[in-house]
Structure 1
Amino acid sequence: MGKFDQDIEALFKTLVAIRRKLHQQPELGFELPATIETITAVLQQHQIPYEIVAGSGILAQIGRTEGPAIMLRADLDALPIEEATNLPYKSANENKMHACGHDLHAAILLGAGILLKQREAELQGCVKLMFQPDEEGLMGAKKMIEAGVLEHPKVEAVIGLHVVPGLFLETGDIIGQSGPVMAGSIPFEIQITGKGGHGSAPENAIDPIYAAVQIYQALQSVKMREISAQEPMVMTIGEFAFGKTCNVIPQSGRMSGTIRFFKKEVGAYAIQRIEEIVTALAAALRVEATFITGVFLPPVINDASLTQKLLPSIQAELGEDKVRDYQHKFMSSEDFAFYGEEVPVLYLNIGAGSKAAGYDYSLHHPKVAFDENAMKFGVAALVSAALGFLEL
């Protein structure tokens, strides 16, 4: 039995109510007024001081400004998805859904904050609570860092977590390991312009679809023939948009996709080669091509020393059977990685209902559901890690 079990059990119904309220009012990006109102009301109720950061982030602080400082982070934003569950607390906002579990993350961080506030007199340092906007847009973490959340007092480590339903993890199982745990990513778009014409006379046109197909095929060679088979890298073209009718060669169109990787140098090489291939083939096939890249998101890499220091505290609270090195890395990405560019980080993936237990859908699906009991493990993990960092 963990030393926080009774406190967490007593708080659990409150956390469920908070989570369900957040789930019913999902908001996107940096526009989070209802979310902020809900979270700050809880912070005020428990006399946890906070400030609004850059318009839509919330930074709370517990403990003293002297001594070491650690930051616990949760993301807040939802996804532009129409919820298709039959939950009584399903989204009330059209085409918005907490399909990535950020409602649970926020409730978990509030729970951790409440327990830490109860122990504030014992803290030999500072614990910051960072409620971060716009994880899905990949700009929230950078904006919070630029606004100074890692300063005054200076943060020495950041801990984050993510609930994971619909896979192999049973509820409360935690992937705890050092090294890369989430992939880096770079989105890109290729705009192709040719010369439109009648479908009966392709010789009088310059077909952008034909050029795009050749480019698509050639891009596969970057992974297959230029990057080691031992090095994970995934390229996906998720959008291919050309033409609107069967007998017209369109003037232009676009394709877009992402690459994902566990080493920044692999990502940098791959995106450079993609642009070179696009440029060369466009010239050969007489089309104009514009290549646009989005945010270069680095991988999430758990710091070895921090992981070694904090995992024993989490294992002591939850049991060694619940916190293990599964040798599993996720190819999905997280802007939590930007904190890791500044200070040591530890990122935990927590089971929130396995496929074997009947949770058939995973993240970003309109029917995804989460086992709310995962919040108990999340709170325990964050509190024990924070106290372990402050060596209590």
Structure 2
Amino acid sequence: MRVLRLTPFFHHDQVENWPAEYDAVGGMQVQILGLSRELADRGVDQQVMTVGFPGLPRWRRDRPGLVVRITRAPLPRLRSELTGLVGLNQAWLLGALAACARLGRRWRPDLIHVHADGQLWALLAGPLAARIVGAPYCLTLHCSRLAVYEPMSRLDRWQHRLVRAVERHTLRHAAGVSTLTARTADVVARALPMDRSLIDVVPDSVGEVGPRPEAAAALRRDLDVPEGAPVIGYVGRVAHEKGWRDFVAMAARWRAGPGAGAAVFLVVGDGPQGDRMRKAVADAGLTDRFRFTGFLPHAEIPAVMTALSVLVMPSAHEELGGSAIEAMMCGTPVAGYAVGGLRETVGGVTPGLLVPRGDVAALTRAARDAVQEPEHVRQSVAGARQRLASEYGSGAATDRALAHYRRVLRTKGAAR
């Protein structure tokens, strides 16, 4: 089977640093890399057309059966605090379509797999590439405008209706559709409408993740965390939709609560609003309580999750919440807003730690409960680890993705 993977989101794990203006790495990028590698190991021949940054090779063979191409048209270095470089995804789409045209008959895919995050450009990739290559496309909704996505700015709100219409069009013409959660599949099926049985649920895989106590202890020492102090974590892209402002507001409220001692607030990751977050922390007089690591290689994230007393996820929208799953598989509870897939992942383990979106006071109380009653919440998390591993660990997503591909190709073959 040959699969052409089109996505502006892909993790290049051979680098030690990731420029923030190129949309710093997050869970979606890591998960697509992991899925691509696992599929290659199962014999699926793939080419990935994705975004890169200066210093990366334009073409590389990651492993047998997996070729990664950086496809990006030239663009000016104009920065946006919402999206990183202005026009980055548009430049990716133009470059990817040009690369599709050059494929010719040298490497013709059986299927095109597009990964969409709620933005316009990835949604356009499937129908356009299918016409150029002459192969059907399937679409994975990593974030759906119809089900989960919340506009991030005035301009985003203005174009929200347009992008929803494009998502509907792309879904209707796709040979196959998959979502990360059953909830999104249900909402999308009702919104189109379409037969719900035609939408496969293929959750992201977080791979082989588990506690790293020794590495976690070393990390706490390196970060100069006082002995016995709780560590409250924010792990991911520093961007508007991830709710970093509420994380800072929560830190300001922390000591006002009953019995709350000094805590360290750890920020792991970077993004287009990283500088703004640091300034907000300084303006609030919280610099001594915060530690910023910037971008860290994904191999170090299990140690980070193990070192945390609680992971906080104040996201405006979250389709699945891979960071939450990683934290819980490392034994760490998660407090966050009850949005999107967090209602399934965190809500199925510690529902009491999910609060209404935007309620910073309730979020602070939930995080404090996780710190002050650690045995109770950690027992719940430990009891769910085996189930989480079976649903989101290595192999589970690959099995579902292969079944999805085979069903799509079988259906298209029957139609022809």
Structure ranking higher in helix proportion:
2
Q: Which has the larger radius of gyration?
A: 1
Q: TM-score range by the shorter chain?
A: under 0.3
With normalisation by structure 1, the TM-score equals: 0.25
Structure ranking higher in strand proportion:
1
Q: Does 1 or 2 have the higher relative contact order (CA < 8 Å, sep 6+)?
A: 1
